[in-house]
Amino acid sequence: MSNYEALRRRQSVLNTFTVPTTKMFAGDFSELLPATIIYDPNTGLPFPGNVIPTARLDPVSLNFLKYYNSASVLGTNKRIMMPYSEHHSVQLRLEAFNVFNHPSWGAPNANILAGAAFPGAPANAAHQGFGIISTTAIPMRQLQLGIKYLF
């Protein structure tokens, strides 16, 4: 007994997505008014001005957002299809993220005992690594080039 199944897709799909703005990351959805109203799940009433109070934002979610590119980070993509026969084509794709390489710094080190102690300071005083910013919230400039042969 044998079986064979195949799917050939001869079209390219270009997806466009809308990403949140920096204000939306902080809970301010006022720019969506009047078309979209954000409701409080506890009361069922709209948030005043479409702004979610900061105390209601989950700290874990806020920490996750630093890895998510917002609309304030300039990026682009370009896809070019080059058919050279009825069933064969080449696709070139270029993607660029954080084009101007603008740094978005991460949070400072909150561990008061990080790093070496200052000479002569008490053991429980802030160490040299406290408050140091050593990470970025989003990656620096990224360029990607892809080539795909479709047949």
Confirm if 93 and 13 have CB atoms less than 8 A apart: no
Amino acid code (one letter) for 91: Q
Residue identified by tokens 């400072």 is 108
Per-residue pLDDT tens, the chain, 151 aa: give them. 677 777 766 665 656 666 777 788 888 988 888 888 889 988 989 999 999 998 888 888 888 777 666 655 566 667 777 787 878 888 888 877 777 777 777 778 888 888 888 888 888 888 888 888 888 777 777 778 888 888 8
Q: What is the pLDDT of residue 48?
A: 92
For the whole model, what pTM was predicted?
Answer: 0.41
